[in-house]
Chain A
Amino acid sequence: MKFTFRVSPNYRDQLSTGRIMRDLTIGLGVIYAFALAYYFTQYSSNYGIHALGLMATSLIVAFLTEVAFAYFTKKKVKTHLLGSYPWVTAIILTLMVPIATSYFALGFGTFFAIFFGKLVFGGFGQNIFNPAAAGRAAMLASFAGVAVTDITTSATPTASIAQLGWMIDKPEAVTKFLDQFGGLQNMFLGLYPGALGETSKVLILVVMVFLIIRKVIDWRIPVFYLSTVFVLASLIAVSKGMGFWYPLFHLSTGGLVFGAVFMATDPVTNPTSASGRTLFAIGLGILTVLIRVKANLPEGVLYSILLMNMLTPSIELLTDGWQIKNVKKYAISFASLSLIGILLVFGVSTTMSYKAPVVPEEPTITLGDPVGIFSDETALAPATVTDKVTEGDIVTLTVSSKGYAVLQDDHSEDPQPNVLIVKIDTVKQEVVSVAYATFSDTTNIGDKTKNAKFLDQFAGLSIVDEAAEVDVVSGATYTSVSVARAVRAAIEAVLAQ
């Protein structure tokens, strides 16, 4: 017989850190699945594939970083990986970035999160910052200007309201503003482009309930964090005469719900006492609202989490002691912090004002010298009619006309002519309209000719008047002439019938 000696107790709960991380991974997986479904169905498979690629990039970089670390610090790779949970950080970070993020930027962010966010502190359990938040902050600092413009990077609700000074006091403007995003309801459902995993508040809240029931996260943090934001936003709404939509908008926009459920709850970077976590969550709420309404950053969640992470050791010192003797102290701390938050936010709200949206002005162009439609200039390098459709009196012609790119060699690799659509009324014998199908000349120079002020000159020009002329756009003469050439070719094609 062998009687093994072990210190008591010799009875343990089924719940393990491994299971906690597995449940968390499942919860995050559900959010990611929603993001994939959204981009595959609402956009195109290219977007969906990019979302898959982002996740793969982050996971690969995270694992490689951990494996390299284990190798260089002479740890057993498998044991190290099983106790380090790199995939959780990678998934959270991926879900925080917008679809337009490049693989390189995310790979950089992941490396930063795993290496500088976690491993340099001594690995899992030792880091003071939430690794994913640290990685995202590094990405924002390094790649802020590189965001690629495409259909999905239309302004997010957070960025849009930030431009308005985080308030709208005119009821009619509110509806118009919210309708851009399909209304509050749609924002809660998450059917708009934003960070991959942050949009669907409803789904995140469902996952939150699952994680709370499974004892993966402490309910205090999301509940107190979101409640604090709600209460403080309501305070601003009351002080500024805004409606109930305002606190709801605060909850439904940006990464608040995602951060409250998946990042603020990271136990490693949280105080270990229940009272401490409560104070931590209220602090998060206050900072988030302050950063949102008053700082230059559009979103406060990420930075409030990083800031509160720094305060975790101080909060623990505050709550240290014999808990049952400290209840009064905890209640006083809670009340004081709440009061500070209310006073700060109320004070700040008095300085807030509505910034009317700036209507972008049409870029001004100056018209220069006239060019005759049937002049010598248009006779050079004649344009080619590639398509002609007749519908009643109206003939629509597609015309390929060499512009600056082809004729002057703008150093582009494969210069192409501009393609224009010219409509001509054969009964009235005049030009109806001229529009670009494809513009191939120099951006910011030739494209001034897309301006209506230039193109509208063609409408009403007689096709039989040999002296018909338009004014070229100053500084874009070549392109302007190419348009006139296209019109000449179109008129000649119609007259030749």
Chain B
Amino acid sequence: MSIWIGAMQKHLEGHKGLTDHNEIVRVDAGKFVYIPLMSMFSTNIEVLVKEGDSVKVGTMIAKRNDHMTVPFFSSVSGKVVGKQTIMHAVLKPLEHLVIENDGLYEKEQPFSPIDFEKATREELVDFMMNAGIVGCGGAGFPTYMKYKNPQNISTLIINAVECEPYITADYREISNNIDDLVLGVKAMLKLSTAKEAWIAIKSPKKELIAKVRAALVGVSGIVVKEVPDVYPMGWERTLVYQLLKKRYDRLPSEIGCIVNNATTAIAFAKAIRTGMPIVEKTLTISGNGIKNPANVNVPVGVKTAEIVAKLGGYAIEDVLLIAGGPMMGKTIPNDQFVVTPYGNAVTILKTEKIDSVACLRCGRCNDTCPAGLLPVRINNAEQAADLDTIVKLRADQCIECGLCTYVCPSKLDVAEGVRRAKRILQLKKK
């Protein structure tokens, strides 16, 4: 909030009551699971198994091995069937490795558990890499990259904000795995070389805050920080600014921070304890387009259609099926996309008619943009195909949080205009 820029954030109605208390439904895999062969938009992935190979839960089946290492694991036991191209949650058809499920869920530890207190920092980074721990906030960035070479890091920020509406999966996951959270954060604190770890939780989540604080009694160097219930508080830059009142250019490490998601810490703790990677996820399936909104526990690679069927189906004929929350998630035109290690929600909303009118130039988008951009100006420049102005307006800095469209009283697709401008910049670079 400033006189010059505006709020740069906004409280959103969360609809979290739909799923924050009811039972977590276990959804088993059907006949096949589909493991997406994609990491951070790279499809340069080496498949380690052949058609007909037997695999178990935890068998490493593929690996990205360029400037980042990301292993992929089977989430069921059974037989490798082959590859198939299906729609992915990023709204692109991608190759998936298909595994026929034998329903037995036989396990295989792809790596051994580790005593993080005894292990050296380097050993722990390698462990994290081999365990395939990726950012569970949605992007799937390999977590070990952040810890490879930490310099002058003073604070580790654990993001338990979960600011997208409807999603409660992280909240449920944290409440049910407090000990793993503490273990994971301790291990990450060691990796980061920081003095303190701050666990950021939205202030209205009083119960969770109390629970985490209770678990931290006697633990030094880890504290809970309450943050306001606004969107996008879960975005790294907004969160860092909220906690440190500092901004950075590219990475939070510039100002001595590493930011990681709380569920990533939990996944890390599980790997440390059990020697098992991320093979299943807690997902929030919510919205007014589904009969019974709930959190589900489901193996990676299960199609959305199977989860929805297990929950009793869609509430209406015409829905917006969104991979993720309604702000940043993309609508997918079919329900064949699968659960990924980095996804945490599917939001299903009634398709409602939107009546848009002319832009009244109110500037709400400019005042609310968390990146400090001027979305309406970018839209104007994009419409005028004014490349110089698009460059000046720094359209490249947009994170597509969607807040500009959300606040637009004229119901225009402001974010889409900025996206187009971004694409123009990307094309120009190439």
Contact A323-B363, Cβ < 8 Å, known A6-B320, A9-B326, A9-B327 = no
What B residues does A124 contact at CB under 8 A? 357-358, 360
Residue of B at shortest CB range from A274? B6
Contact A13-B393, Cβ < 8 Å, known A274-B3, A324-B247 = no
Complex Cα–Cα for A300 and B416 (A): 42
**Within 8 Å of chain B (Cβ to Cβ): is A20?**
yes
Partner of B5, one of A4, A126, A324: A324
**Within 8 Å of chain A (Cβ to Cβ): is B119?**
no
**Within 8 Å of chain B (Cβ to Cβ): is A72?**
no
A316 touches B377 (CB 8 A): yes
Contact A323-B374, Cβ < 8 Å, known A13-B407, A82-B357, A220-B3 = yes
Taken residue by residue from 358 to 398, chain B's Cβ proximity to chain A (1 for < 8 Å, 0 otherwise) reads as: 11111100110101111011000000000001001110010
B361 touches A272 (CB 8 A): yes
Taken residue by residue from 288 to 331, chain A's Cβ proximity to chain B (1 for < 8 Å, 0 otherwise) reads as: 00000000000000000000000000001001111111110011
What B residues does A331 contact at CB under 8 A? 4
What A residues does B124 contact at CB under 8 A? none
B361 touches A267 (CB 8 A): yes
Taken residue by residue from 241 to 278, chain B's Cβ proximity to chain A (1 for < 8 Å, 0 otherwise) reads as: 00000010000000000000000000000000000000
Interface size class of B (residues with CB under 8 A): 35 or more
Residue of B at shortest CB range from A272? B363
Partner of B322, one of A8, A218, A220: A8
**Within 8 Å of chain A (Cβ to Cβ): is B332?**
yes
Partner of B409, one of A17, A123, A271, A324: A17
What A residues does B319 contact at CB under 8 A? 1-4
Within 8 A of B (CB), among A2-20: 2-13, 15-20
**Within 8 Å of chain B (Cβ to Cβ): is A83?**
yes
Complex Cα–Cα for A321 and B378 (A): 10
What A residues does B12 contact at CB under 8 A? 11
Residue of B at shortest CB range from A331? B4
Contact A12-B4, Cβ < 8 Å, known A1-B319, A125-B361 = no
B326 touches A11 (CB 8 A): yes
A322 touches B406 (CB 8 A): no
Give the number of residue pairs across the A-B interface with Cβ within 8 Å: 175
A278 touches B413 (CB 8 A): no
Contact A218-B363, Cβ < 8 Å, known A83-B357, A331-B4 = yes
Contact A320-B328, Cβ < 8 Å, known A275-B4, A327-B5 = no
Complex Cα–Cα for A349 and B5 (A): 34
Partner of B360, one of A12, A125, A319, A330: A125
B366 touches A7 (CB 8 A): no
A217 to chain B, nearest CB (A): 9
Partner of B314, one of A1, A17, A272, A330: A1
What A residues does B373 contact at CB under 8 A? 322-323
Contact A8-B328, Cβ < 8 Å, known A267-B362, A322-B373 = yes
**Within 8 Å of chain A (Cβ to Cβ): is B191?**
no
What A residues does B334 contact at CB under 8 A? 3
**Within 8 Å of chain A (Cβ to Cβ): is B292?**
no
A270 touches B331 (CB 8 A): no
Within 8 A of A (CB), among B1-49: 2-6, 10, 12
Taken residue by residue from 66 to 79, chain A's Cβ proximity to chain B (1 for < 8 Å, 0 otherwise) reads as: 00000000000000
What A residues does B362 contact at CB under 8 A? 20, 218, 267, 272
What B residues does A5 contact at CB under 8 A? 331, 333
Partner of A6, one of B331, B357, B371, B401: B331
**Within 8 Å of chain B (Cβ to Cβ): is A277?**
yes
**Within 8 Å of chain A (Cβ to Cβ): is B330?**
yes
Contact A16-B4, Cβ < 8 Å, known A124-B360, A274-B363 = no
**Within 8 Å of chain B (Cβ to Cβ): is A138?**
no
Count chain B CB atoms within 10 A of each CB in A13, A18, A268, A271 and give the residue with the most: A13
A79 to chain B, nearest CB (A): 9
A222 to chain B, nearest CB (A): 14
What A residues does B317 contact at CB under 8 A? 1-2
B363 touches A321 (CB 8 A): no
**Within 8 Å of chain B (Cβ to Cβ): is A273?**
yes
B394 to chain A, nearest CB (A): 4
Residue of A at shortest CB range from B7? A274
What A residues does B320 contact at CB under 8 A? 3-4, 6, 10
Partner of B410, one of A6, A17, A82, A218: A17
Complex Cα–Cα for A15 and B410 (A): 9
A219 to chain B, nearest CB (A): 10
What A residues does B354 contact at CB under 8 A? 12
Taken residue by residue from 155 to 173, chain B's Cβ proximity to chain A (1 for < 8 Å, 0 otherwise) reads as: 0000000000100000000
What A residues does B134 contact at CB under 8 A? none
What B residues does A126 contact at CB under 8 A? 358
Taken residue by residue from 349 to 373, chain A's Cβ proximity to chain B (1 for < 8 Å, 0 otherwise) reads as: 0000000000000000000000000
**Within 8 Å of chain A (Cβ to Cβ): is B329?**
yes
B358 touches A125 (CB 8 A): yes
Complex Cα–Cα for A20 and B362 (A): 10
A273 touches B358 (CB 8 A): no
Complex Cα–Cα for A18 and B400 (A): 26
Contact A20-B327, Cβ < 8 Å, known A11-B12, A272-B361, A273-B363 = no
Within 8 A of A (CB), among B308-327: 314, 317-322, 326-327
Contact A11-B3, Cβ < 8 Å, known A83-B357, A83-B358, A321-B394 = no
B3 touches A8 (CB 8 A): no
A9 to chain B, nearest CB (A): 3
What A residues does B419 contact at CB under 8 A? 7
**Within 8 Å of chain A (Cβ to Cβ): is B65?**
no
Contact A323-B361, Cβ < 8 Å, known A7-B416, A11-B165, A278-B4 = no
Complex Cα–Cα for A205 and B369 (A): 29
**Within 8 Å of chain A (Cβ to Cβ): is B349?**
yes
Complex Cα–Cα for A126 and B359 (A): 9
What B residues does A19 contact at CB under 8 A? 409
Within 8 A of B (CB), among A212-244: 218, 220
A125 touches B359 (CB 8 A): yes
What A residues does B55 contact at CB under 8 A? none
A12 touches B331 (CB 8 A): no
A7 touches B411 (CB 8 A): no
A20 to chain B, nearest CB (A): 6
A9 touches B366 (CB 8 A): no
B329 touches A8 (CB 8 A): yes
Contact A322-B397, Cβ < 8 Å, known A272-B366, A275-B5, A327-B5 = yes
Residue of A at shortest CB range from B409? A17
Complex Cα–Cα for A126 and B392 (A): 23
Residue of A at shortest CB range from B165? A11
Residue of B at shortest CB range from A5? B333
Residue of B at shortest CB range from A15? B409
**Within 8 Å of chain A (Cβ to Cβ): is B402?**
yes
What A residues does B358 contact at CB under 8 A? 83, 123-126
Complex Cα–Cα for A321 and B371 (A): 12
**Within 8 Å of chain A (Cβ to Cβ): is B203?**
no
Would you give 9 A-B contacts (Cβ < 8 Å), ordered by A? Answer: A7-B419, A8-B328, A10-B347, A15-B407, A17-B409, A19-B409, A268-B360, A272-B377, A323-B372
**Sorted from nearest, which 7 A-B pairs have the closest CB atoms?**
A9-B402, A324-B372, A125-B358, A272-B363, A11-B326, A323-B372, A267-B362
A-B contacts besides A3-B321, A11-B406, A267-B361, 4 pairs, CB < 8 Å: A2-B319, A7-B415, A9-B401, A12-B411
Interface residues of A (CB under 8 A from B): 1-13, 15-20, 82-83, 123-126, 218, 220, 267-268, 270-278, 316, 319-327, 330-331
